């Protein structure tokens, strides 16, 4: 995949990438079983991509407006240390993360799809919207993924970040 040079330039300094969950790592649908359990579907390629990002020294965080045991489980499966759920002010969480990690906000990227992601887009160095995101999110994105939410977005973002750092091992 080829990425615009201006986007690669922004991506070169990213040391932290945060992902919204619903609509980014999932297709945005929330399914309830008859027993009342919440069901989400995650793309397997996103899991391997997140593990690759971590192995290359990029910190990964999940910042979600909703809370779900499924997200807790997925974060644990992937070894993600920073899983923040039920968050109304995503920019405040990002500020805490960057401060705690000793990073400037412009060393962070955020991947989002909907209006609650706009505040965080205003402070990160690389704002990434998903192809089927809200028009206001897409208008404020430095990069819009080719893939829709839940269809392997994290894998596409992984390729972008690692190609920018010349760490993509598959070309």
d(CA 86, CA 10): 29
Please choose, from the candidates 81, 109, 86, 91, the residue with its C-alpha nearest in 3D space to the C-alpha of residue 19: 109
The residues pairing with 82 across neighbouring beta strands, listed in sequence order, are: 61
Question: Taking Cα atoms as reference points, which of 97, 48, 39, 101 lies closest to residue 73?
Answer: 39
Q: Contact, 155 vs 45, CB < 8 A?
A: yes
Residue ranges of domains in the chain, CATH in brackets: 5-164 (3.40.50.1000)
Each residue's pLDDT expressed in tens, for the chain with a length of 171 residues: 899 999 999 999 999 999 999 999 999 999 999 999 999 999 999 999 999 999 999 999 999 999 999 999 999 999 999 999 999 999 999 999 999 999 999 999 999 999 999 999 999 999 999 999 999 999 999 999 999 999 999 999 999 999 999 999 887
SS3 of 101, please?
helix
The label of the residue with tokens 């807790």 reads: 72
Residue 154's CB is within 10 A of a number of other CB atoms, namely 26
The token duo for 151 is: 């269809």
Q: What CA–CA distance (Å, rounded) separates 66 from 149?
A: 16
- Predicted model pTM: 0.96
């Amino acid at each position: 995949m080829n990425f615009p040079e201006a986007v690669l330039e922004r991506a070169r300094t990213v040391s932290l990438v945060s992902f919204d969950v619903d609509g980014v790592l999932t297709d945005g649908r929330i399914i309830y079983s008859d027993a009342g359990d919440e069901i989400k579907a995650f793309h397997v390629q996103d899991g391997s991509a997140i593990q690759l990002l971590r192995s290359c020294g990029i910190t990964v965080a999940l910042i979600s407006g909703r809370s779900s045991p499924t997200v807790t489980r997925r974060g644990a499966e992937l070894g993600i240390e920073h899983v923040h759920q039920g968050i109304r002010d995503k920019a405040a969480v990002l500020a805490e993360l960057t401060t705690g990690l000793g990073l400037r906000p412009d060393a962070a990227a955020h991947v989002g799809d909907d209006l609650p992601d706009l505040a965080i887009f205003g402070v990160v160095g690389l704002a990434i919207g998903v192809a089927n995101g809200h028009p206001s999110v897409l208008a404020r994105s430095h990069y819009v993924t080719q893939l829709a939410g839940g269809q392997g977005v994290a894998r596409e973002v992984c390729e972008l970040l690692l190609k920018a750092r010349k760490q993509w091992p598959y070309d």
